[in-house]
Homo-oligomer: A and B are copies of this chain.
Amino acid sequence: MIHSLEESPLYRVANPRTIVFFGVSNNKSSMGTLLMRATQVTGFEGSIYPVHRHDETVQGLKAYKTVADLPEIPDLAVIVLPGGIVAETLQACGEKGIRQAVIISGGFKEVGGDGVGSEKALAKIADEYGIRILGPNCLGVANPYAKICTTPIPIEGDPGFIGLASQSGSFIAQMYNYLARNHIGFSTAFSVGNQLNVDLVDCLEYLAVCPHTKVIALYIESINRGAEFIRVAQAIVPHKPIVAYYVGGSETGRRAAFSHTGSMSGPDDLYDAMFKQCGIIRAQSITEMFDICWLLGSMPRPEGRKVAILSHSGGPAATAADICGRVGLHLPAFTATTLEKLSPFIPDTGNANNPVDLTFTRNFSDFFLKIPQILLEDENIDMLLIYLFVPQDILKMKMASSGMSEEKVNETVDKMSWSIEEIAGELRQRFDKPVVGFTFRGMEELVNKTFIKKGIPVFPNPERAARSLQALVQYFEIRDTFN
């Protein structure tokens, strides 16, 4: 295990001071150009050197005919060339003294046949010059803190706390938007492709010491260095959670993974056992992987698995109770003190037992702050799940139909927005127990958006909320057995 970022072979891949790009041109829509553009748009502050055989400038930057002509030795080479000329380019990089490369180009091991030999040729050159290679057949790296992004899609949203190592480039680049929509984001994300001489284990070691990374996510099609993977993961888990989604365990997944990155994957139960040995939380989908990361990176430690559910509707309360039970969470009875404190807030038609069902909401501050406060103070309760249903359009319609002027309606809604923001902020700050919401309405709606912005995760159904809470509990249970 390394103890600082600087010891990692990925240090100057994820934090380069200077980069040379191969395969860029003045054709704005070529793949290479898109990658270089993404790094520029992300705000990279170091020097960028485009290499181009003919043009004097590329995308407004001075271009060089060969890598040998560069005025310095760049920290990183990004290669986006046809497969046939990658080897000679890598050789030239080696001769120049470059020791880190991202090879985006495909057509190697993953296509079989001649591709396997071509990849071996790259490995030989890498060995000869001591070059560490992310790829080939990858999308490289995205590090919003170092303002580098070698994927064709630029980073979206704010930097975040999820460190990702992925055998799919899409699950980096095509997730920026997904994570941004939930106000979470990557700390650093690596697309490892064919893992020539930098693999998931190297990424794990890097992310373990990365100060911006609170939780590590892995998209896995196969693991090459099994023993090292286990050793490194076991060393990380007591300090930082690891969540993995493994795609090669089904027959259809195995075949797809093979044609994707040439990976030889293993059966499901083998990986289950390995993940268990490592203390890694296994997610059943990409969605679930990021759900769990969201909670692990933003929620405090729950003392145990006892959840309180708060709703103003019986059906959503019952479904949440059902799924919480199914995933192994408990719904204990409240203490007599809690029931007494709740009593003034529960109408005759409602139910003060767990799940709490008000049957309707009298006011926001009771539902979103006072009742949660009572529930979270209960010594039997470790975490809270709230059903969110505040349809702004319907509230507006009701106000308008009660004879309110448009101006007054807008003023009232503004006031409501402000009050929800205040309530959500207070709810988040006041308690050291996890609080999570679920809703069936759009995430763009005021209450959902505000809760998420204020740091309370909201899921579009109770199942995702419950499974993520269960994983949060599971992580701390694992950690206790490791310590």
Listed in ascending order, the chain A residues whose CB lies under 8 Å from chain B are 28-29, 31, 34, 37, 83, 106-107, 111, 137, 153-154, 166-171, 174-175, 177-178, 181, 219, 221, 245, 247-253, 255-257, 259-261, 284-287, 313-319, 321-326, 330-331, 348-349, 351, 353, 355, 357, 359-360, 389, 391, 394, 397-398, 401-403, 440-442, 444, 460-463
Contacts and interface: CB of A to CB of B under 8 A. Distances in A.
Contacts of A463: 284-285, 287
Contact of A107 (B137, B166, B330, B349): B349
A242 to B, nearest CB: 19
Contacts of A349: 106-107, 111, 137
Contacts of A255: 321, 331
Given A349-B106, A355-B256, A391-B153, A313 B174 contact: yes
24 contacts: A28-B402, A29-B402, A137-B349, A153-B391, A154-B394, A168-B318, A170-B315, A171-B316, A174-B389, A174-B440, A177-B440, A221-B318, A251-B325, A252-B324, A253-B322, A255-B331, A256-B314, A256-B317, A259-B353, A259-B357, A260-B317, A285-B323, A286-B461, A287-B460
A425 to B, nearest CB: 25
Given A286-B440, A287-B461, A357-B260, A252 B315 contact: no
A203 to B, nearest CB: 16
Given A259-B353, A286-B319, A355-B256, A326 B250 contact: yes
Given A249-B322, A326-B250, A331-B252, A178 B315 contact: no
B398 A313 contact: no
A222 to B, nearest CB: 11
Contacts of A323: 250, 285
Given A322-B252, A322-B253, A315 B260 contact: yes
A463 B284 CA distance: 9
